Chains A and B, each alone.
Chain A
Amino acid sequence: GQSLEQPSEVTAVEGAIVQINCTYQTSGFYGLSWYQQHDGGAPTFLSYNALDGLEETGRFSSFLSRSDSYGYLLLQELQMKDSASYFCAVSRAGFKTIFGAGTRLFVKA
């Protein structure tokens, strides 16, 4: 089977840096994605890592270590609007994407 683990909640202050970790167990692994979902909204794509290393997109970066079955999402210069749920998701053969339970990020002033 497959499973993804990520913390259920993280709290940080505006302007800070926060890291959300994700470990996974799956067969046919292709890559690790991250999605953001605000309350009442749809998940939106943030980043995708197919190879080991760091991918940077503006304030957001994502890291993958395939040998450790581990990745993280790094959010810098936190803003209040970053308060949302963040999901790691494993892409498998045929691009079937399986999501974790999500990490709820609270950004405080």
Chain B
Amino acid sequence: ETGVTQSPTHLIKTRGQQVTLRCSSQSGHNTVSWYQQALGQGPQFIFQYYREEENGRGNFPPRFSGLQFPNYSSELNVNALELDDSALYLCASSLAGELFFGEGSRLTVL
């Protein structure tokens, strides 16, 4: 139990739609990262937020965007969904480097 919660746990969308995934960080953790994990692969870094500012981004297009709120909770938004966006989306909060992951949101794009 990491104290990081994500919602929804599962969702199905169609190509072209938009999705918002949510994450509540562990108490006191001011940094949140989002990862995409395809089946059988390692988590791929999407971006990281520190005190409401994006301070790092991986190799993902601009249709992947995010927000971090004053209470350090966070959202991941994906526009114009593509079939390849089907994956497990993991949120991780951290304070000093060690990542605490939520259980993830499994997105299926049809």
Contacts and interface: CB of A to CB of B under 8 A. Distances in A.
A77 B80 CA distance: 48
A42 B31 contact: no
Q: How large is the interface on A (under 10, 10 to 19, 20 to 34, 35 or more residues)?
A: 20 to 34
Contacts of B31: 95
Contact of B100 (A45, A95, A99, A101): A45
Interface of A is mostly: strand
B97 to A, nearest CB: 5
B90 interface: yes
A31 B98 CA distance: 11
A97 interface: yes
Contacts of A15: none
Interface in A12-44: 30-31, 33, 35, 41-44
Q: How large is the interface on B (under 10, 10 to 19, 20 to 34, 35 or more residues)?
A: 20 to 34
Interface stretch (B11-19, B37-45, B60-68, B69-77): B37-45
B98 A96 contact: no
A83 interface: no
A33 B100 CA distance: 13
24 contacts: A30-B97, A31-B97, A33-B97, A33-B99, A35-B99, A41-B103, A42-B2, A42-B90, A42-B102, A42-B103, A43-B90, A44-B101, A45-B98, A45-B99, A91-B97, A94-B48, A94-B50, A95-B96, A97-B33, A97-B99, A98-B45, A100-B42, A101-B41, A102-B42
Interface of B: 2, 31, 33, 35, 40-45, 48, 50, 55-56, 90, 92, 94, 96-104
Given A33-B98, A43-B43, A43-B90, 15 more contacts: A42-B104, A43-B99, A43-B101, A44-B101, A45-B98, A48-B97, A48-B98, A87-B42, A95-B96, A96-B48, A97-B33, A97-B97, A99-B45, A101-B41, A102-B42
Interface of A: 30-31, 33, 35, 41-45, 48, 87, 89, 91, 94-102
